[in-house]
């Protein structure tokens, strides 16, 4: 089946190319930062040149320990925590989903690494809005529990910025929201990232890092334009995954089938073979849409992830989804 890899909206491509050709003469950094704030409802934001740069700058500003989920997150969290020599606490999850009891146990077991009183030495949990891109975290309850323990919540919303339900990427719950605007993310500009927060001391603490990871004006223009399509694009991807999960759940074990997500993860006895076969079935230009698990960024289970988030939006219509389903059913 020939599908197309996600591209920036034609209006975004046009705006970026006009700027590159010198047909527009405007500084887009502030415009894009303000648009991000409109969606996150925070007071301060900064653009950076990648999602990992956003993680590095925000984690550098954390004075306490770094907590991360045991799976379903982003391997950059661990790599960057190690690079920065931060004490690292891995939290057990329910297949990537934060379980409040397990989180509280982890906090209790690591009392020596966490300061429960000092406002200036807070630890932080880093997670992604959707675990494994497949199931939304209960951000509000997680945030409440963390705040009761003097711990910050840092949400990587690369896959969920502009959530119309306001459950994800919402500055009322997450102290810091970071994201990549690289390819194929929800703000899909092929480059860049952002940090959003109510605490601008983060930007002071990481001033040098922010200086070394500046976003180009062309990327800023791309972010400012593409963000206008993000909510519709995210809704469309979530709806496609809801449909696929529902239609496939009689024939496959689907992880977190009742949760919103932007990919679909099927359990498999032989993920190596299944992922090989599915790669032959689904081609997305020169890109892929199949991820073999176990994989920290997805699930540490025998499974195969179908990356619906990589597919360009015109190909998320029902007729294409039905064709995807009929191909997958050959391998049930
Ligand atoms: C959830 C998540 N966060 C961060 C990143 C890193 O983003 P970048 O490639 O822009 O550094 C990625 C990359 O795929 C990601 O999936």
Write out pLDDT tens, residues 182-241.
999 999 999 999 999 999 999 999 999 999 999 999 999 999 999 999 999 999 999 999
The Cβ of residue 181 has, within 10 Å, a number of other Cβ atoms equal to 33
Atom of ligand 1 nearest to the CA of 133: 1
For atom 16 of ligand 1, the residue with the nearest CA is 74
Q: How far apart are CA 164 and CA 52, in angstroms?
A: 25
CATH of the domain at 49: 3.40.640.10
Final residue before a domain boundary, out of 227, 256, 277: 227
Is residue 284 very low, low, confident or very high in pLDDT (cuts 50, 70, 90)? confident
Final residue before a domain boundary, out of 227, 249, 283: 227
pLDDT in tens, 42-100: 999 999 999 999 999 999 999 999 999 999 999 999 999 999 999 999 999 999 999 99
For the record, the structure tokens of 73 come out as: 């997150």
- DSSP string for 24-36: -----HHHHHHHH
- Judge if 193 and 301 occupy the same domain: no
Which of 69, 262, 75 has its CA nearest to residue 163?
262
- Judge if 168 and 248 occupy the same domain: no
Give distance in angstroms: CA of 250 to centre of ligand 1: 33
Give distance in angstroms: CA of 185 to centre of ligand 1: 8
- Judge if 177 and 313 occupy the same domain: no
CATH of the domain at 238: 3.90.1150.10
Measured over the CA atoms of residue 39, residue 307, residue 102 and residue 150, the dihedral's sign is: negative
Cβ neighbours of residue 184 closer than 8 Å, sequence gap 6 or more: 5, 6, 287, 309, 310
- Judge if 254 and 191 occupy the same domain: no
69-107 burial, b at 16+ Cβ within 10 Å, e below that, comes to bebbbbebbbebbeeeebebbebebebbbbbeebbeebb
pLDDT of residue 301: 98
Residue 93 near residue 131 (C-beta atoms within 8 A): yes
pLDDT of residue 2: 86
For the record, the structure tokens of 57 come out as: 């700058």
Measured over the CA atoms of residue 245, residue 246, residue 251 and residue 252, the dihedral's sign is: positive
For the record, the structure tokens of 113 come out as: 């690494």
Residue of 72, 180, 193 with the most ligand 1 atoms within 8 Å of its CB, for mutation? 180
- Judge if 239 and 297 occupy the same domain: yes
Q: How far apart are CA 179 and CA 192, in angstroms?
A: 9
Give distance in angstroms: CA of 180 to centre of ligand 1: 5
Final residue before a domain boundary, out of 175, 201, 227: 227
Give distance in angstroms: CA of 130 to centre of ligand 1: 13
pLDDT in tens, 18-37: 999 999 999 999 999 999 99
pLDDT of residue 81: 98
pLDDT of residue 192: 98
- Judge if 117 and 83 occupy the same domain: yes
pLDDT in tens, 113-156: 999 999 999 999 999 999 999 999 999 999 999 999 999 999 99
- Judge if 174 and 264 occupy the same domain: no
pLDDT of residue 49: 98
Q: Which residues line ligand 1 (CB under 6 A)?
A: 50-52, 74, 76, 128, 156, 158, 180, 182, 193
What is the biggest distance separating any 2 CA atoms in the chain, rounded to whole angstroms? Answer: 59
* Residue 281 clears pLDDT 90, i.e. is over it: yes
pLDDT in tens, 322-332: 999 999 999 99
Q: How far apart are CA 311 and CA 265, in angstroms?
A: 15
- Judge if 278 and 157 occupy the same domain: no
Give distance in angstroms: CA of 65 to centre of ligand 1: 22
In terms of phi and psi (left: phi > 0; alpha: psi -120 to 50; beta: otherwise), the region of 268 is beta
Is residue 286 very low, low, confident or very high in pLDDT (cuts 50, 70, 90)? confident
Quote the domain boundaries for residue 287. Answer: 230-329
- Judge if 102 and 148 occupy the same domain: yes
Domain count, the chain: 2
- Judge if 196 and 278 occupy the same domain: no
Q: How far apart are CA 281 and CA 263, in angstroms?
A: 17
Is residue 206 within a helix (H) or strand (E), and if so which, with residue range? none
Average pLDDT over residues 277-293: 93
For the record, the structure tokens of 33 come out as: 């930062």
Atom of ligand 1 nearest to the CA of 55: 4
Which of 160, 173, 170 has its CA nearest to residue 134?
160
For the record, the structure tokens of 210 come out as: 């922010």
- Judge if 184 and 246 occupy the same domain: no
* Residue 285 clears pLDDT 90, i.e. is over it: no
- Judge if 184 and 261 occupy the same domain: no
Is residue 283 very low, low, confident or very high in pLDDT (cuts 50, 70, 90)? confident
- DSSP string for 163-225: -TTSSSS-TTT-SEEEEE-STTSSS--SS-EEEEES-THHHHHTHHHHHTTPPPHHHHHHHHH
């Amino acid at each position: 089946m020939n599908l197309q890899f996600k591209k920036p909206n034609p209006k975004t491509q046009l705006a970026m190319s006009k700027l590159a050709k010198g047909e527009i003469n405007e500084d887009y950094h502030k415009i894009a930062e303000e648009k991000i704030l409109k969606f996150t409802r925070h007071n301060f934001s900064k653009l950076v040149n990648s999602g990992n740069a956003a993680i590095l700058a925000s984690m550098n500003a954390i004075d306490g320990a770094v907590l991360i989920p045991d799976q379903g997150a982003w391997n950059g969290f661990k790599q960057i925590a190690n690079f920065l020599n931060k004490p690292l606490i891995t939290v057990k999850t329910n297949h990537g989903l934060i379980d409040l009891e397990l989180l509280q146990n982890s906090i209790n077991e690591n009392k020596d690494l966490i300061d429960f009183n000092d406002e200036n030495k807070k630890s932080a949990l880093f997670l992604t809005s959707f675990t494994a891109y497949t199931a939304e975290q209960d951000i509000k309850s997680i945030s409440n529990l963390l705040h009761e323990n003097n711990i910050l919540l840092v949400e990587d919303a690369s896959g969920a910025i502009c959530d119309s339900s306001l459950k994800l990427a919402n500055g009322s719950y997450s102290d810091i929201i970071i994201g990549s605007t690289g390819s194929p993310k929800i703000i899909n500009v092929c480059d860049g990232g952002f940090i959003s927060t109510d605490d601008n001391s983060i930007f002071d603490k990481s001033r040098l890092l922010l200086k070394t990871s500046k976003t180009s004006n062309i990327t800023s223009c791309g972010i400012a334009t593409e963000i206008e399509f993000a909510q519709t694009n995210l809704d469309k991807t979530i709806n496609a995954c809801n449909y696929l999960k529902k239609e496939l759940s009689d024939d496959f074990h689907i992880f977190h089938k009742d949760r919103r997500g932007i990919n679909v993860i099927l359990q498999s006895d032989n993920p190596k073979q299944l992922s090989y076969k599915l790669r032959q079935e689904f081609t997305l230009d020169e890109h892929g849409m199949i991820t073999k698990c176990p994989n920290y960024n997805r699930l540490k289970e025998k499974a195969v992830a179908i990356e619906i988030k990589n597919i360009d939006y015109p190909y998320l219509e029902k007729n294409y989804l039905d064709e995807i389903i009929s191909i997958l059913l050959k391998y049930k």
